[in-house]
Amino acid sequence: MAILKKGSKKLLNAWAFYDWANSVYTLTIASAIFPIFYSALFLDAVKSVRFLGFDFKSTALISFVTAFTFFVVTILSPILSGIADYTGNKKLFLKFFCYIGSLGCIGMFWFSLEHIYISLFFYFCGLIGYWGSLVFYNSYLPDIAYPEQQDAISAKGFSIGYIGSVILLLANLAMVMKPNWFAIEGSEQEAAMVAMRISFITVGVWWMLFAQYTFYHLPKGNSQEKKVIKDVLLNGFKELNSVWKQLKENLRLKRFLYAYFVYSMAVQTIMLMAVYFGEEEISWADNNEKTLGLIISILVIQLVAVFGASLTSRASAKYGNIPTLIGINTIWMLICVFAYFVKTPIEFYMTAAVVGFVMGGVQALSRSTYSKFLPETKDTTSYFSFYDVTEKIGIIIGMSIYGTVDQITGTMRNAILFLLVFFLFGIILLFRIPKKLQLTTKS
């Protein structure tokens, strides 16, 4: 196979196509079908499960496992990314996490309360596979695209990811809502549960299958390959320390990371809790309308995000990355205020549409902005591990604050409104980013 040149259309498209492959996880597993499936495992009067000798509330258990997974990724990804850059084969790690995640999704077919330990292990594998692979996938961006190409190809990746995930979700929803069309027998509830289990297999197969195109065309990594030595683990920490020192000397990159850390807390928290907010705070006519309404809102967010990522890329080309990010964060602030007063399904759909627009934009533009601000280096994986760690720590902190406010005040509306503070501080920090690269050890 001929090695594709940096900036070539085929190489860029092959990189972006991994978004098509893995985005089905976030929509089907994280946002739509699995939450519905997991809730259906519990009787209305029994919302707890025995785990590690303790009785956990069903939703709390999933939250704890999710938080633990993010913690594991936060610890592992900097070490593994340092090793990947040291050995010159980041594609090996990208494949490893892809296969772990896809096999975890397939294993969720057997998810049950009777076998909760192995069930949660498969859930853990799916989650860690998705987020772990993103570290290495994102780090390819400066390797395969020139700075002037990065905004557009980053946005294209998110866009085709949203489209692919919606296609598979619609197919899975058809199977869940009309199982008899797919020769799935049993009572209505039993057939629907089987259909949901099968949908987990489709996610794993889709992810693994379509990732092969990306794997075929992406280079292994940097050209300076080295054999893994006995202290390679220690080398990973050395790589991290070296990158950290360089980050502190790059004022523009350092201040962007500060801003990203703050506003990403709020962005990721809203994305993870949007469905739960809609379930608890919106006045649905009945449970059927609630289920259908939540699915519609998820689809609205995904579809609008495609246009959001594309329009944001155009705005950044005209106005610049930082001014565009400031505008997007301003819209997020307005969403927090509006969400506090949302009560009806129509208002919730409107909010979901705006969330989708800025969700696609802020993710794609943040990734490409960070890539643009990187210094000339072959150590891109370690740099992007810092980006990934920043996001994961933000998720842990944001979710903790959100849950605390919700617990103390008794309503998620106050928690959403409180997130406005993070967007405000994010905007302030974005204004402090210098327009030109400045190397300094001072803040």
* pLDDT per residue as tens digits for the range 132-188: 888 788 778 878 888 778 778 887 887 888 788 888 988 988 888 888 888 888 887
Output 57 or 275, whichever has higher pLDDT: 275
Containing domain of residue 119, as a range?
10-221+231-431
Q: Quote the CA–CA distance of 234 and 243 in Å, as a whole number.
A: 14
Looking from the CA of 283 toward its CB, the CA atoms found within 13 Å total 5
For the chain, what is the domain count? 1
What pLDDT is stored for residue 438 in this prediction?
Answer: 47
In a domain, 353, yes or no: yes
In a domain, 436, yes or no: no
| 200 is a domain residue | yes
- Does residue 51 form part of some domain? yes
Q: How many CB atoms lie within 10 A of CB 45?
A: 5
- Cβ distance 317 to 368 under 8 Å? no
Q: What is the pLDDT of residue 59?
A: 60
226 lies in some domain: no
- 299/32 Cα distance (integer angstroms): 9
Q: Is the pLDDT of residue 225 over 60?
A: no
Residue 439 lies in a domain: no
User: What's the sign of the alpha-carbon dihedral 259, 263, 265, 268?
Assistant: negative
* pLDDT in the model for residue 81: 64
Assign 205 to helix, strand or coil: helix
For the chain, the farthest-separated pair of C-alpha atoms sits apart, in whole angstroms, at 67
251-281 vs 380-409: helix crossing angle, rounded to 10: 40
**Distance of alpha carbon 398 from alpha carbon 63, whole angstroms:** 13
**Of the ranges 71-80, 106-115, 201-210, the best mean pLDDT one:** 201-210
239 neighbors 379 (Cβ within 8 angstroms): yes
Could you tell me if residue 1 is inside a domain?
Answer: no
What is the domain-level CATH number for residue 153?
1.20.1250.20
- Asked if 200 and 109 touch (Cβ cutoff 8 Å), the reply is yes
- Evaluate whether residue 329 is within a structural domain: yes
SS3 of 111, please?
A: coil
Provide CB contacts within 8 A for 230, sequence distance 6+: none
For residues 260 and 268, give the distance between their C-alpha atoms in angstroms, rounded to a whole number. 11
pLDDT in tens, 412-432: 788 888 889 999 999 999 999
